[in-house]
Amino acid sequence: MVDAYTIAHFDFDNLPWLTSPRNALQLQGVALGFIKIPPEDGYTFTHTHREQEEVYIVIEGSGTIAINDELLDLTPGDVIRVSPNAKRALKAGGDGLFAICAGAVPAGFPKNPQSRYMIDDGVPDYDDIPPWHRDKREVVEKNMILKQRMLKSQLKRKKRNE
């Protein structure tokens, strides 16, 4: 049986890049993430989802969201819905960016009960580097390492399921 409610406290001033309150709140039907990006920093690759649409709510700071090939400026109070198949990535402006990302959880998620996030249908595209990092060799190299790690993990899971 699920508790009638859960409460947790988060120090929003000192959050890491991405914080999932899933376990602290015992979330079962809401995907939620706190995104705190330092000034002038941003995602090094885009991602999509298989099923989940996301809503980004800008709380503090400013930034840019890349959706497919379009760049949109973000300021506090902006709320933007992104469809599952749209490629997206975030970048903070000079004052950093704090946003909340939320989505509904389709039936059957998370697929992996040990998943850090409620919705584990994200599909990273390590080859699609957002415009703010495209000319940075170290980002390309880091993404290649992340891609190899992901492919190795997928192969291991496939062998385990055979």
- The reply to whether the predicted model has a pTM over 0.95 is no
Question: CB under 8 Å to 35, separation ≥6 — which residues?
Answer: 17, 18, 56, 90, 97, 98, 99, 100, 101
Give tens-digit pLDDT for 16-56.
999 999 889 988 778 899 999 999 999 999 999 888 889 99
Whole-angstrom distance, CA of residue 101 vs CA of residue 55? 6
Residue 70: pLDDT over 90: yes
For the chain, which residues make up each domain, given as ranges? 12-161
Q: What pLDDT, on a 0 to 100 scale, did the predictor assign at position 30?
A: 83
| Region 12-161: CATH code | 2.60.120.10
